[in-house]
Chains A and B, each alone.
Chain A
Amino acid sequence: EAQVTQNPRYLITVTGKKLTVTCSQNMNHEYMSWYRQDPGLGLRQIYYSMNVEVTDKGDVPEGYKVSRKEKRNFPLILESPSPNQTSLYFCASTWGLATDTQYFGPGTRLTVL
């Protein structure tokens, strides 16, 4: 089944404790991205990657890092999480262009205390 998976689905952590949210897709998509969703602000793009070893900042990249060592994986790294990074995070992928239909993961609900 074609899908985008994220892990963990739920995470509660404390300020400053490094964490990684994994994202994997099995559709051989080139383009992957991370979004955060907050009430009243909609979805905002954090980072995106157009292919292996090619990543770029989205609208709200501060406090986040990403890597794209393999085509299927695009982990989101929070080196020193802060409470303002409490949010619902989505990974998405698409065939080639950012403008094609995006396939979303199920989401990761992160709480930073």
Chain B
Amino acid sequence: SQQGEEDPQALSIQEGENATMNCSYKTSINNLQWYRQNSGRGLVHLILIRSNEREKHSGRLRVTLDTSKKSSSLLITASRAADTASYFCATQETSGSRLTFGEGTQLTVNP
């Protein structure tokens, strides 16, 4: 089964609103990464948060990590139509060296 699971599976909002996506995982991790994928294209790295970090910002992105709850959230503020994409979390378990991806959240931002 997937290590990371995103929630919700799909999210539709209006331009200007904030979008929040969540990721839960099962085992201890070294870090958690968020990626974005436009339809049918390659994934693009957005942000990496390490297990000893609780929050990280990058432009309009804010990522939080709660290792006690084994969960992370990605907040996109002041969303734009161009933010429409699928967003994936990926975790690197402490017991291994590979990244494991979740199934993604499909975000639609309506103009």
Chain B residues with CB under 8 Å of chain A are 2, 30-31, 33, 35, 40-45, 48, 88, 92, 97-104
Contact = CB atoms under 8 A, between A and B. Distances in A.
Contact of B97 (A35, A99, A103): A99
Given A42-B88, A99-B92, A101-B33, A106 B103 contact: no
Counting from the closest, the 5 A-B pairs by CB-CB distance are A104-B42, A42-B103, A99-B92, A43-B101, A101-B45
Contacts, number: 54
A7 B30 CA distance: 33
Given A33-B98, A98-B99, A105-B42, 16 more contacts: A40-B103, A41-B103, A42-B2, A42-B102, A43-B43, A43-B88, A44-B101, A45-B100, A58-B98, A90-B43, A99-B31, A101-B33, A101-B45, A101-B48, A102-B45, A106-B42
Contacts of A97: 97
- Interface residues of B: mostly helix, strand, loop or mixed? strand
Interface residues of A, number: 25
Contact of B42 (A40, A41, A45, A107): A107
A104 B43 contact: yes
Nearest to B103: A42
Interface string A14-57: 00000000000000000001010000111111001000000000
Contacts of B48: 101
Contacts of B42: 4, 90, 104-107
Contacts of A40: 103
